[in-house]
Structure 1
Amino acid sequence: MRCPHCGAAVGGDRKFCGDCGTALPWPCNACGSENPADKRFCGDCGAARGAVSDAPAVPAAASMPERRLMTVMFIDLVGSTALGERLDPEDLRKVITDFHDLTSGLITSFNGFVARYMGDGALVYFGYPQAHETDAERAVRAGLAIVDAVSRLNTLAGPPGTLSVRVGIDSGLVVVGDQIGFGSSREAAVVGDVPNLAARLQTAADPGAVVISEATRLLVGNLFEYRAVELHNLKGRRDVERARVVLRESAIESRYEALRSGHLPLVGRIEELDLLLRRWDQAKAGEGRVILLSGEAGIGKSRLIAALEQRVGTLAGPPLHYICSPHHLDTPLYPVIRQIERSAGFQRGEPPPSKWTKLANSFAGASPEDQAVLADLLSVPCPASDGLKDVPPQRRKAMTFAAIIRHIDDVAAQLPLLCLLEDMHWADPTTAELIDLLIESIKQLPVLLVVTARPEIRPAWAARPHVTVQPLSGLDNRHAAALIKQVAGGRDLPSDVIDRIIAHADCVPLFIEELTNTVLQKKRADPGNNTEPSSPQSLLSADMVPRSLHSSLMARLDQLPTGKEVAQIGAVIGREFSFEMMQALTRLPARRLELALAELLQAGIIVSYGTSPSATYTFKHALVQDAAYASLLRERRRAIHLRIAEELEQDQAEEPAEPHLIAWHFAEAGAADKSIHYYRQAAIRATGRSALAEMVSHLRNALAQIAQLPESPDRYRQELNLQLKLGSALIDHRGSGSEEVRATFERARELCLALDEVNLLPRVYDGLVLNYHFTHSEPQKIVRYTGEIINVCERTNDAQALLMARRAGALANLLLGRFEAAREDMQRIVDMYQLDRDGPHAGMSTRDPKVSTCTLLGICLTILGFPDTGAAASLAGVDHAKTLNHPISLNLGLRRACVQGMLLRDSGRVLTLSQELATLREAYETYKGSWEGTLFHDWAQNHERPVAAHLEGMLALLRRLDGTKNWALLPFYMTCAAELKGLSGDAASATALLQRASELSSATGSQWCDAEILRLKGCFTPDRDEASRLFRASLKTAREQGARLWELRTAVNLAELLRDQGDCAGARDVLKPSYDWFIEGWSTEDLTTARSLLKELE
């Protein structure tokens, strides 16, 4: 709570404000109402002050064990054993007490917590019980201060220099909060490797040294100077082998420069930079301007002013850069002192006379009085110092302010001046007073003052006419994605991972950078399965709060004595939670819960919509939610998840609106059975909405929960059912050629054989054989599996298994170019088909067998020389699909009907069918439908009238199909593209396409398109003899396969070649037998062309 008089934060158990002494109101434990300090009973419910409510109270922030990032320090007094041997015990006690008092005071000044004194040493925590934004830095600064102070300590052990200490520091994730010991020995224990490593680093350190681990160094960046140290007794651990001795604070002037490694180009701040440059132009003209850049930590304030400095460059004198520090809030004018020291060139350990000389040179144009005042500010003795001894403090401050402002006037008189004041939220009161005066004084000077601060800073001077307040918000999604790509530095991140980083970082630049680096580190550490990209869920989880952000996020929560646990429970619910759900989980009285939520609202942790009890709340930043979630121990998380799942289950008992949410909470609670049940329901709902990605995700999650169940036949049957559903969904979502499809159905096959579930094997073979291996154009594997399916038929006498065997045989024959055998198989399948038994709703096939077979039969008949019958078969398959209300079967039918149209070179028909496919795709997206639909459209447009863009789009799609091993129809598509390329005059590209088609045929053993490949190679070779050889090889192949369409086309090309060579009789002898064979298809392009050529040859 906060004091109503002065606003200071006060612990919930305090009766008076520690800052102003005001008596504090007390909250009623029974109803939560706030009561005046002098009342003994609650004015709302009559309960006595201090009465205990039946509802559990929200515990204090540090009352329960937590997971958190901490920095742990071990301090050891060197040579204490020798001291004990030479000192009287009372004297030794006094020495150690002095040592403890000294270290305790310094540690407290840096917000550390002494967990335990161990005789001559101490164990110290930074980040517990209260986290701070700069815990690791505070620990290092405290370590350096302790080393220095102990070395100057005058004790009974001897003069300064007698005592020294060793300090070891490590940072990392720990569990803290369990109380151990009794009475005065009671302490909060820290469990984890961090204290052990800190102790080992301290042991290995030299006297007077502070040794830090690599984990700590990564958190403090280049704020300090280091020396590598060889720790021989700690070999074998890479993090320890990179330990460093901290020498001193670094000379880098900017925290931004020190903590950020490398500079990325400025992204998404064009408008803000333009504003700064416009104000700079006004300042150069003598109209002093001030800009306050306001924004939360990490929003990009320092990066923006760095960009301004680069743009201003030599157009101004050296900028005056004032940087406030969180560690010097009580040091008057600290930013000014540091700026003067840097500009004068002071060095560490430099003698005072040398400093005075440098200061006098730096302020050569100043009056002796101003020089003396500034020397006094920097504690540098000078000849005129004695004259200031009797000046009252208030007068001396006024003289100091005047000297600083006059110096800025003098500098601006030479060249326009850029002044930068960073992090004003950390300004000491005296600096804030100076800035107020400076802003007024520069109105008529060529000075631009840019101040950066966090949103809670609202100075009174912001309303002055020459001041502009520029709030900085997050980047838009486009610029956020650009920043991610810059951080990734050319390393590829999938688009869904980029989207998740953007959503998780809420477009805050620092969050984006750190999350991206965290993802990249995880990918390097665990590259995973190379066959499929890592999922965004696996790369970004609630436990992956970047270490560089963890302390600042937890610091915001630790400042909330009553709101912290509500935030933790809310984090388990999700990014958004309702008042109603929170009250059901906490069982707090409405008033007490409102107070806790108000605390979170005031701190900017959450935002609210509506009013209680119907209000909903959202975490302002996903990373704050993650930090709150990650701080909970797993056991506590599971308990909260279980409560949430049970509440949701009760609220949605009839028909769950969000079964996936209930499933997730049960999964996190460890209730696998219930989680699987609800994930199945979620998958069913996704099926009805044609939400393929969601369906796949729910099924994968259910399978992950299956693995948590004890091994049993029932578990494996559940897994088998889920694997079959997942495989079917993956065919549509990832494509039938996906390696996930293969792995899923192979696992299902293993389970079928292990459980002797032979009647489910046809479903497995549908996915594994008819989809995956057919897509990969692997006829020999299909033949092998056909034998397995026949064995199933013999064991079960199952009609569906027989149908499946026929389908597998037909596909193998088609790929091998055995068109007549394939036609016979396909006709038998059509004759055998029964809708009730074999249709899609029977669940045995991913696509309707009749639709699939009729459209393939149409392709087969067309190649065999029956184009009209083939077209009728294809359209019969499409018409049948339209009666089924089964979009994926219709999608397949339309695609294969397009292939049959391409075989006939009927661009009008293909265009119409591809438009139908596009319309269907709007309502039901499938993997191949989205690719091949565009390909068919581009081919039809190009065939009608060549358009370079359409042809290039078609080629890009072919490359994509090739890259994903969608090879069954790819050689044919390549021949179509090659023909168009050749007709456009690009014979080289046509030849390259045909060469790749030949390679695919050879590699896969698929021969169905060989005759057409040979024919087109002959068309585009400039050597007539080679062309004749290729044409005759094509004729031979086509006749062996019974491919009358391929034969006719080749006969036309060979006849044209012979005609051009003057052999018209030979040309007629080649063409006429092929043409005379046909009994239909007279209006097709191929027969029309052949007929015209025969007339010409008569």
Structure 2
Amino acid sequence: MLDTVRVPPTIHAVLASRIDRLSPEVKGVLQTAAVIGKDVEFDLLLAVADLPEPLLRQALDRLQTAEVVYETSSYPEREYTFKHALTHEVAYGSLLHDRRRSLHARILTTLEQRYAGRLTEQVERLSHHARRAELWDRAATYFREAARKAMRRGAYRGAVACLEQALAAVEHQPQTHALLQQTVDLRFLLRHSLTVFGDVTRIHDQLRAAEAILRELDDPRRLAKLSTYMTQYFWSVSEHDKAIEVGEQAIAQAGGLGDAALWLEARLYVGSAHFSRGDYGSANRILTENADALAEVDSREARLLASISNCYLAMSLGFLGRFVEASARSDNALRIAERTEHPFQLVWASFGIATLAFLKGQMMDVAIPVLERGMRLCETTEMQDLALLVAAFLGYAYARARRIADGLRLLDWFVVHAGAQVRVMHYSHVGFIAAEGYVLAGRPEAAIQVARKSLEVAREHQERGFEAFAHHVLGEIAAKREPLEAETTANDYREAMSCAAKLGMRPLVAHCHLGLGKLSRRTDRQEQAQEHLTTAATMYREMDMQFWLEQAETEMRELA
């Protein structure tokens, strides 16, 4: 922005002296052009410069001769640009404040007239000129619309900047009831953009600021929204019991208002919290009802909620070994996300597909292409929070595909950045997968550190399913140590199997039987090995887990 540029004093003085030597008409044209911006349309300049067209053309010719501006286009519209950014800055700064503000207001009005009916095309320029003109109501409106436009194309950092400017504009206005409602809506929208980055501290700040305003307003609908968004916040920081408690309040509030969209959104977050706690029965019931209800609503917002509902439902069903249903839901999530072309939803859909591929052992042929697209989307839209999740999965997938260097690069990046930047809940979602990747890549010490942290986080937040996965990977790590500590290894497998069996996590139970079968074979307990391997093979066959079935059958042949 212009007011952040720092021009060296000597250069500033030289440029200011050159501008002062221009004739009043030419100097006025230069200053007006500077207020328009670095790139200047001739028709816009003519509309605001207070000069007849012949005199304006003469002034521009002189400025070109002086190498201050140059013509960049003559068709379909004549356009000029400043040759140097510093000249533009000094010319802009040579105007008195009131004159600058007046010119910005005239430019704003002219742009509104020229682009009537399609203001969205120019909303970034409109917001800039409205702010500089100190027309705060229009500035707030245009910055909000600029934020929405940025969000549609996945430019969330730009959206955050625009919403902060909109909030600043609101503060300059009388705090009427309607304006306070607008302020709450802006904070809700800002919270939505911050969600992409996992910036839970700032999300919490926005929600608490909105709550303080709503205490003074009689506004049940916005209070219901606040409860819904607080539900998502508590789930995001792994306070799942609190998320379910507040979420049930939000569901009741939205139901009382007859707001079906908000009711479904609150249920999504409650269902997701049940999933994170390991209550897959409750998660499946809520998310199935949600996904089916949303399928009947044809709106962009409904499709976004439907994609995530299907994604979490797919993972929950997958953890139970119900892969036919899970795959259908995962395919739905991806199809809906591709229809919306929303980067955030596309990445989440890839996360769901990768979870099922991880469980079934299909990482190479199924998950890698989807995850690679997800990583590219994260990089282009600066969604680092999600990038960390994708990196853990993709690092594991590369390691399983024997692309060890690629896998380690992503796994190391995940470990370095996860502690400081990823939400705690997300660590438990993928920490055990990163640990599995390190096992495959031959880095047992890194694997055990990540697995122990994953176990610690899961226990702290009572995420029982992820606790079971962490115990299993600790067993896998211990099984590869030399000398083998058979009892320690067996205990980790048994802890994982006990927890998984209580939660109905059949794929993980089968994995534990496979691990115990291998361990028993190594320690010459042939009968136990046969029993565990047979159980694992039977379960894999029933769930159509072909990759793992082949592993179990190979072990059984070697045992025989």
TM-score, normalised relative to structure 2: 0.85
Who is 1:313 aligned against?
none
Q: Name the aligned partner's letter for residue 354 of structure 2.
A: C
Q: How many residues align?
A: 552
Alignment of 1:644 onto 2:107 = yes
List gaps (5 residues or longer) in structure 1: 1-536
Who is 2:397 aligned against?
940
Counterpart mapping for 1:227-246 below 5 A: none
- Whether the aligned pair in 2 keeps the contact of 1:1065 and 1:1097 (CA below 8 Å) is no
Query: CA distance change for structure 1 residues 840 and 1092 in 2, over 3 Å: closer, same or farther?
Result: farther
- Whether the aligned pair in 1 keeps the contact of 2:184 and 2:213 (CA below 8 Å) is yes
**Take 1:934 and 1:1029, find their aligned partners in 2: how far apart are those partners?**
30
- Whether the aligned pair in 2 keeps the contact of 1:554 and 1:628 (CA below 8 Å) is yes
**Take 1:956 and 1:903, find their aligned partners in 2: how far apart are those partners?**
23
Who is 2:69 aligned against?
606
Who is 2:285 aligned against?
824
Query: CA distance change for structure 1 residues 552 and 776 in 2, over 3 Å: closer, same or farther?
Result: farther
1:1082 to 518, 521, 544: 544
Query: CA distance change for structure 1 residues 609 and 889 in 2, over 3 Å: closer, same or farther?
Result: closer
Query: CA distance change for structure 1 residues 968 and 905 in 2, over 3 Å: closer, same or farther?
Result: farther
Alignment of 1:792 onto 2:253 = yes
1:863 to 310, 316, 319: 319
Query: CA distance change for structure 1 residues 681 and 737 in 2, over 3 Å: closer, same or farther?
Result: closer
SS of alignment partner, residue 1008 of structure 1: helix
Q: Name the aligned partner's letter for residue 574 of structure 1.
A: G
Alignment of 1:585 onto 2:48 = yes
Alignment of 1:995 onto 2:445 = no
Q: Name the aligned partner's letter for residue 100 of structure 2.
A: R
Who is 2:275 aligned against?
814
Alignment of 1:1050 onto 2:512 = yes
Query: CA distance change for structure 1 residues 774 and 905 in 2, over 3 Å: closer, same or farther?
Result: farther
Alignment of 1:897 onto 2:359 = no
Alpha-carbon offset, residue 632 of structure 1: 2.6
Who is 2:240 aligned against?
779
Who is 1:852 aligned against?
308
Alignment of 1:618 onto 2:104 = no
| Structure with the largest fraction of helix | 2
Alpha-carbon offset, residue 1081 of structure 1: 1.7
**Take 1:613 and 1:582, find their aligned partners in 2: how far apart are those partners?**
16
Counterpart mapping for 1:866-877 below 5 A: 866-877=322-333
Who is 1:663 aligned against?
127
Query: CA distance change for structure 1 residues 1092 and 862 in 2, over 3 Å: closer, same or farther?
Result: farther
Query: CA distance change for structure 1 residues 983 and 648 in 2, over 3 Å: closer, same or farther?
Result: closer
**Take 1:1032 and 1:852, find their aligned partners in 2: how far apart are those partners?**
33
Who is 1:716 aligned against?
180
Query: CA distance change for structure 1 residues 850 and 681 in 2, over 3 Å: closer, same or farther?
Result: closer
Q: Name the aligned partner's letter for residue 544 of structure 2.
A: W
**Take 1:929 and 1:567, find their aligned partners in 2: how far apart are those partners?**
47
Alpha-carbon offset, residue 835 of structure 1: 2.8
Alpha-carbon offset, residue 921 of structure 1: 7.6
Query: CA distance change for structure 1 residues 888 and 1032 in 2, over 3 Å: closer, same or farther?
Result: closer
| Structure with the largest fraction of strand | 1
Query: CA distance change for structure 1 residues 928 and 1061 in 2, over 3 Å: closer, same or farther?
Result: same
- Whether the aligned pair in 1 keeps the contact of 2:378 and 2:384 (CA below 8 Å) is no
- Whether the aligned pair in 1 keeps the contact of 2:228 and 2:250 (CA below 8 Å) is no
Query: CA distance change for structure 1 residues 660 and 1044 in 2, over 3 Å: closer, same or farther?
Result: same
Q: Name the aligned partner's letter for residue 792 of structure 1.
A: Q
- Whether the aligned pair in 2 keeps the contact of 1:1052 and 1:1071 (CA below 8 Å) is yes
Query: CA distance change for structure 1 residues 1078 and 950 in 2, over 3 Å: closer, same or farther?
Result: closer
Counterpart mapping for 1:438-517 below 5 A: none
TM-score, normalised relative to structure 1: 0.46
**Take 2:128 and 2:91, find their aligned partners in 1: how far apart are those partners?**
18
**Take 1:851 and 1:583, find their aligned partners in 2: how far apart are those partners?**
50
**Which has the higher Rg, Structure 1 or Structure 2?**
1
Alpha-carbon offset, residue 645 of structure 1: 1.6
Alpha-carbon offset, residue 714 of structure 1: 1.0
Q: Name the aligned partner's letter for residue 500 of structure 2.
A: A
Alpha-carbon offset, residue 928 of structure 1: 5.6
- Whether the aligned pair in 2 keeps the contact of 1:644 and 1:665 (CA below 8 Å) is yes
Alpha-carbon offset, residue 712 of structure 1: 0.7
2:417 to 945, 948, 960: 960
Alpha-carbon offset, residue 900 of structure 1: 1.8
Q: Name the aligned partner's letter for residue 1009 of structure 1.
A: F
Alpha-carbon offset, residue 1048 of structure 1: 1.8
**Take 1:767 and 1:703, find their aligned partners in 2: how far apart are those partners?**
19
- 1:132-170 CA-to-partner distances (Å, cap 9, x unmatched) read xxxxxxxxxxxxxxxxxxxxxxxxxxxxxxxxxxxxxxx
Query: CA distance change for structure 1 residues 654 and 820 in 2, over 3 Å: closer, same or farther?
Result: closer
**Take 1:746 and 1:581, find their aligned partners in 2: how far apart are those partners?**
44
- 1:91-145 CA-to-partner distances (Å, cap 9, x unmatched) read xxxxxxxxxxxxxxxxxxxxxxxxxxxxxxxxxxxxxxxxxxxxxxxxxxxxxxx
- 1:891-914 CA-to-partner distances (Å, cap 9, x unmatched) read 422321222211222122212433
Counterpart mapping for 1:724-739 below 5 A: 724-731=188-195, 734-737=196-199, 739=201
Alpha-carbon offset, residue 710 of structure 1: 0.7
2:296 to 815, 818, 835: 835
Alpha-carbon offset, residue 1049 of structure 1: 1.2
- Whether the aligned pair in 1 keeps the contact of 2:398 and 2:406 (CA below 8 Å) is no
- Whether the aligned pair in 1 keeps the contact of 2:510 and 2:535 (CA below 8 Å) is no
- 1:655-696 CA-to-partner distances (Å, cap 9, x unmatched) read 234232123222211212233343444445556655545544
Q: Name the aligned partner's letter for residue 558 of structure 1.
A: D
- What RMSD, in angstroms, separates the aligned Cα atoms of the two structures? 3.6
1:707 to 156, 167, 171: 171
**Take 1:639 and 1:584, find their aligned partners in 2: how far apart are those partners?**
14
Counterpart mapping for 1:149-188 below 5 A: none
Q: Name the aligned partner's letter for residue 529 of structure 2.
A: A
